[in-house]
Amino acid sequence: MRSTVTLLEVAAAAGVSVATASRALAGKDRVSAATVVRVKAEAQRLGYRVDPIARALREGSTRLIGMVVPVIGNPFYSRLLDAVEQVSHAHGFELLVADSHADPTEEARRLRVLAGRKVDGMLLAPTVSAAARESTVPMPVDVPLVQIDRVVGPAAADFVGVDNALGIGMLVEHLVSCGARTMMYVGADDVNNSGRERWQAFGAHAEIHGVTTPPPVRDGFDVKTGVAGAEAILRMPERPDAVVAGSDLIAFGLISRLREGGVSVPENILVTGFDGTDMAQLFYPTLTTVVQPIEAIAYEAVQFLRSRIDGSDAPWRSNRIAPALRVAGSTTR
């Protein structure tokens, strides 16, 4: 069996021209039913598969979606990637993946490479490096693009992400119902919308419930930030009743550092996370958190992208999807 059988061979086998064969296989042009059957049978028999390269050259469309994430190794992004891969695959797109390694310059370069590869559209989870503190509007290419997970700078594209305010609201409310009267926030700074929105929502909900809030610790979404938060707490004369961490990773770092400092969770202090990672259920104690609707985010993002690929020039849309509260050991006494 020849490794590549061309349309010409199928046409010859079916006794028609390439043009007819093409039409028969495409099925959207007027071709006699009889030839359609014959051509399809021959194609099947010979194991014909269209050459996507030739088709792309001719049609200007690759059926490829590019996705750029800050770091594939981060479980949140890898799960998002997983979900996006499934959805785009279901829509007939293949996924070209690029990792910006949390470097805005590299991110821009990767976007350009993907555009050069003629992807039909791109999904971007923008990076925010500590180095490049200012937000760069990441649109160096004229390919349909939707931002996913978070936004840097003023939105200049469609956006799909979690409803941060709602999630934080759920957590604060839950902690209040657990009897917490003082709550500290340990999370990311204002460089991207997630950090900003979670912090603002925390403030707003704390106020609504009349909760006292010691000064927060705000930096990144990483373990390190959690450790810093724990150290701040260990230095405080009076510990807060609870800590709202801006991410599961922060909570992990926080809890393990508190433990080293002799403060245990949930006995001495309640802690919540944000993201709903698998590890949250394996950690000790299991972590109360808010679960990101990853599948829904992936689904909606691909929908947005498809409509842009199909030529929509509607105003930028922003889609916030509700997360779900998952109560666990870190807030259960």
Partner DNA sequence: CTGAAAGCGCTAACAA
Partner DNA sequence: TTGTTAGCGCTTTCAG
Per-residue interface string for the shown chain with a copy of itself, residues 219-248, x marking contact by CB under 8 A: ----x-------------------------
Asked if residue 57 binds DNA (CB under 7 A), the reply is yes
Q: Is 298 exposed, middle or buried (0-12, 13-18, 19+ CB in 10 A)?
A: buried
CB of 223 to DNA, least distance (A): 46
Asked if residue 133 binds DNA (CB under 7 A), the reply is no
On the question of a cis peptide bond just before residue 266, with omega within 30 degrees of 0, the verdict is yes
The residue among 256 and 303 lying less far from a copy of itself, judged by its C-beta, is: 256
- The first and second tokens of residue 282, run together, are 């394996």
Asked if residue 50 binds DNA (CB under 7 A), the reply is yes
Exactly one of 9, 85, 173, 295 binds a copy of itself (CB under 8 A); that residue is 85
Q: Are 168 and 202 in contact (CB under 8 A)?
A: yes
Which residues from 123-142 bind a copy of itself, rule CB under 8 A? 142
Asked if residue 82 binds a copy of itself (CB under 8 A), the reply is yes
Residue 121, CB-side half-sphere exposure with 13 Å CA sphere: 27
Exactly one of 37, 41, 44, 51 binds DNA (CB under 7 A); that residue is 51
Asked if residue 75 binds a copy of itself (CB under 8 A), the reply is yes
Q: Are 227 and 257 in contact (CB under 8 A)?
A: yes
Task: Report the number of secondary-structure helices (H) and strands (E) in the chain.
Answer: 11, 12
Exactly one of 34, 131, 282, 314 binds a copy of itself (CB under 8 A); that residue is 282
The residue among 284 and 316 lying less far from a copy of itself, judged by its C-beta, is: 284
* Helix axes 18-26 and 7-14, enclosed angle (nearest 10): 100
The residue among 51 and 190 lying less far from DNA, judged by its C-beta, is: 51
Q: Is beta strand 64-69 parallel, antiparallel or unpaired with respect to 121-124?
A: parallel
Q: Which does 142 bind (CB under 5 to 8 A by kind): a copy of itself, DNA, none?
A: a copy of itself
